Amino acid sequence: MNDQLKNKLNERKQTGNLRQLSIKKHLIDFVSNDYLGLSRSNALYERISSYDYSKIINKNGSTGSRLLAGNSEEYQALEIKLAGIFNAEAALLFNSGYSANLALISSIPQKGDTILYDSLSHVCLKEGAWLSKADSISFQHNDIEDLERKLNRANGNVFVVIESVYSMDGDKAPIQDIIRLSKKYNAELIVDEAHGTGVFGKDGSGLVCEMGVEQDFLGRVYTFGKGMGVHGACVCGSRELIDYLINFGRPFIYTTALPVHSIFSIDAAFDYLKENIKLQNLLKSKITFFNQLFLEQVTEVNGLKKPFSDTAVQPIVIPGNDRIKKISDKLQQGGLDVRPILSPTVKTGTERLRVSLHTHNSEDQIEKLVDTLVKHL
């Protein structure tokens, strides 16, 4: 079996898309999802450390799943708070956005139903659909006409699954158009706000809350390991939805709960962001600056394409795994942490640099990024 594993790894190496773990120290951060800089915030760290652990028995671990030993007053208080932030009847905490999406999408649709998911959805949304007993069908990315064609042919209860902000193209879903179609065809909507949480909306409540359309969604997933700078996730929706997930969502039922430190971290992160909501506008100014500079200095070269994005995720498409790795290496040698996204993570021919912008990126750092990129294209 080890020989078979080695052969598969060699195949991937020969195609130029072998993944390897690496540690890059002392580079300027253009790769992390820490959009608002909360992960590195000393003020937030001190706030998290100030919580009172004196009455907490299990200080280091939760000791079990929520349905056994892992539940606590702290858990339930945070879920009530999150439901208020996200304007929902109820919320349910999960260890990650991946497990939250798996639980939600795999458990609700049944045999004979249809799940329609955007083709650029994160793999956890797709896997949730595949794990369900429903028919799962992708529609072309942000293509309303293709979605309607597939809604016309869908059977049973129909679920449309989207992200608010897409992690590889950095673009937003045409949410209003999708809501209109879902109402026309009586379909249920599910949205993953992984890259919208914290960055958009009052108190970091995400894009659909900012738009005031949150009640049009059956379920909404919010993650805390990106814009919020900590860890964990939650599903928001009706009380019935949350009770259903407690009973049928396997990633919830069979997973050891988050430790109390994570609960306090999530609680503190939302309090901190509420007091420092100006970080959202600071991030927007960095995005505008980068886009203007890129437009001024980078011309079309050998298939380079930069899809428009007004979010923190800025893709620069340069086809070819070898080529994109070489450019990434040059950027890293220049002190800039920009990683390549290779196929098969993205479709062959759409390999890219995925530039992430943050509140902690100075204008000088952004200028250095664009200047260095121009030299090595």
Q: Prior bond to 344 cis, omega within 30?
A: yes
pLDDT digits (tens, 9 = 90+) for 328-375: 999 999 999 999 998 888 888 999 999 999 999 999 999 999 999 988
pLDDT digits (tens, 9 = 90+) for 252-270: 999 999 999 999 999 999 9
All structural domains of the chain: 19-38+277-376 (3.90.1150.10), 51-275 (3.40.640.10)
Give the model's pLDDT for residue 263: 98
| Cα gap 158→118, rounded to integer Å | 14
Give the model's pLDDT for residue 16: 76
Q: Which residues pair with 28 in a beta bridge?
A: 336
CA distances from 263 to 39, 48, 80, 288, 362 (A): 15, 10, 12, 34, 32
CA distances from 120 to 101, 125, 329 (A): 15, 10, 26
Mean pLDDT of 153-167: 97
Matching residue, tokens 């045409």: 174
Mean pLDDT of 97-109: 98
Active-site positions read 33, 122, 163, 167, 192, 195, 226
Q: Could you tell me the two tokens for 196?
A: 């919208």
Give the model's pLDDT for residue 17: 76
pLDDT interval class at 19 (50, 70, 90): confident
DSSP assignment, residue 216?
G
pLDDT digits (tens, 9 = 90+) for 267-293: 999 999 999 999 999 999 999 999 999
Give the model's pLDDT for residue 25: 86
DSSP, collapsed to helix, strand or coil, labels residue 321 as: helix
Average confidence score pLDDT of the chain: 95
Give the model's pLDDT for residue 1: 96
Q: Could you tell me the two tokens for 243?
A: 């009770």
Of 195, 213, 264, 248, the residue nearest 86 (C-alpha): 213
pLDDT interval class at 302 (50, 70, 90): low
